Amino acid sequence: MNKNKFFSIIILFFVCFITFQITLPAQQNEGKYVIVLHGGAGGFPKDATDSLKNAYLNSLSEALSIGKNILENGGSSLDAVEKVINYLEDNPLFNAGKGGVFTSEGKHELDASIMFGKDLSTGAVAGVTIIKNPISLARLVMEKTDHVLFAGKGADELGLKLGVPVVHNSYFHTEDQYYNWLRSNLPKQPGETVGCVALDKQGNIAAGTSTGGRQNKMPGRVGDSPLINAGTYADNKTCGVSATGIGELFIRYTVAYRISALMEFKGYSLKQACEEVMYKVLPEGAGGIIAVDKDGNYEMVFTTPAMFRAVANSNGIFKTEIWK
């Protein structure tokens, strides 16, 4: 081999190496993914019948499989979060979409938000009354408008304009929630709100939350779920969070963002940040959070007796749980 040929080969080698380095960010997460979801924090009784318990566990497991498959096949965390929440919104066991709680006037007003940690883009809807899947409209707010949050009539009208599936308000009605509502004219403890947080193979974190709110809420009341920073947050630099519980408390204490801020500004680990906020900042019984960080760690912390929850990751974890 002459000298020139030798140098050409060396140069070619370096060009290939540099090209490989440049394209590497696309695979920077080394195929790692994580998905966590919740179906609300509350007081689900330990003596519930096996059939009811299994109905919840099976639903959590089906929702988890939807998200896991998307992430395993290289899909985006945003798709995983939206599709998991769509499933839970369509499932009458949960207080989101069909199965949402009743307001004090006997109607349904639904809230949802979604956030993408790559560029901090967010979309949210509050008090929608005819949108079958509020999380999907929240995503369209994020992707198709210059705004972040639509409320009430304007949000319903946006849904009609963007062509999302709409339903009559009575679609959200379920016998169980109606019975709960008839039995009590006091705000019920929170429960069965749904949320999901995922880290995909590209290293992007997304988080979303969807709810019917709190039973017997006053018409027009908005909780934490559609409020970015309170009920939902995602930043690739730190973590993604979805909350469930007494929304008024999660708003006052800026819970989802506070967890991210503790990591960003105080160097807390995900576990330290979640535990600080849930155990030291919020009062006992306020609710729970699920969270995933940029390295693939996850947390599911709650101070109620139960929180429907599930986790799957690329290390083979796949589990669903209800109590502590």
CB-nearer residue toward ligand ASP: 40 or 99: 40
User: Given the structure tokens 């609710």, which residue do they identify?
Assistant: 287
Give yes or no for a contact between 113 and 190, defined as CB atoms under 8 angstroms apart: no
Q: Based on CB atoms, which residue is closest to ligand ASP, 72 or 248?
A: 248
Residue 127 touching ligand ASP (CB under 6 A)? no
Give the shortest CB-26-to-ligand ASP separation in angstroms. Answer: 36
Which residues have CB under 8 Å from 192's CB, separation 6+? 39, 40, 42, 93, 94, 95, 96, 99, 308
* Rounded Cα distance, 301 and 24, in Å: 34
Build a one-symbol-per-residue string for 210-249: x at contacts with ligand ASP by CB under 6 A, - elsewhere.
-x-xx--------xxx------------------xx-x--
Residue 168 Cβ, how far from ligand ASP at the closest point, in Å? 22
Q: Give buried/exposed letters for 302-317 (b at 16+ CB in 10 A, else e).
A: bbbbbbbbbbbbbeee
Task: List 41's β-bridge partners, or say none.
Answer: 307
Residue 18 beta carbon to ligand ASP: minimum distance, rounded to whole angstroms: 49
Please tell me the distance from the alpha carbon of residue 226 to that of residue 216, in angstroms, as a whole number. 18
Relative orientation angle of helices 134-144 and 152-162, to the nearest 10 degrees: 80
Selecting among 193, 238, 254, 304, the annotated active-site residue is 193
Closer by beta carbon to ligand ASP, 164 or else 249 = 249
For residues 111 and 226, the answer to whether their CB atoms sit within 8 Å is yes
How many residues bind to ligand ASP according to rule CB under 6 A?
14
Q: For ligand ASP, which stretch binds (CB under 6 A), given 139-147, 160-168, 185-193, 232-240?
A: 185-193
Helix (H, G, I), strand (E, B) or coil at 6: helix
| Shortest Å distance, C-beta 245 to ligand ASP | 5
**x-or-dash string of contact with ligand ASP, 266-295, rule CB under 6 A:** ---------------------x--------
Q: Is 134 in the site for ligand ASP (CB under 6 A)?
A: no
Catalytic residue flag (residue 232): no
Q: Does 193 bind ligand ASP (CB under 6 A)?
A: yes
CA nearest to 20, candidates 28, 9, 31: 28
**Sheet hosting strand 232-234, strand order edge to edge:** 232-234, 239-245, 287-293, 298-302
Query: Is 43 or 154 the residue whose CB approaches ligand ASP more closely?
Result: 43
In the complex with ligand ASP, the residue whose CB is nearer, 103 or 236, is 103
For the bound state, the minimum distance from the C-beta of residue 89 to ligand ASP, rounded and expressed in Å, comes to: 14
267 in Cβ contact with 241 (< 8 Å): no
Residue whose C-alpha is closest to residue 41's, from 269, 276, 298, 249? 249
Q: Cβ of residue 229: shortest distance to ligand ASP, in angstroms?
A: 14
Please choose, out of 136-144, 174-182, 207-215, 295-303, the segment that lies near ligand ASP by the rule CB under 6 A: 207-215
Catalytic positions, written as ranges: 193
Which residue ranges make up the site for ligand ASP (CB under 6 A)? Answer: 40, 190-191, 193, 211, 213-214, 223-225, 244-245, 247, 287
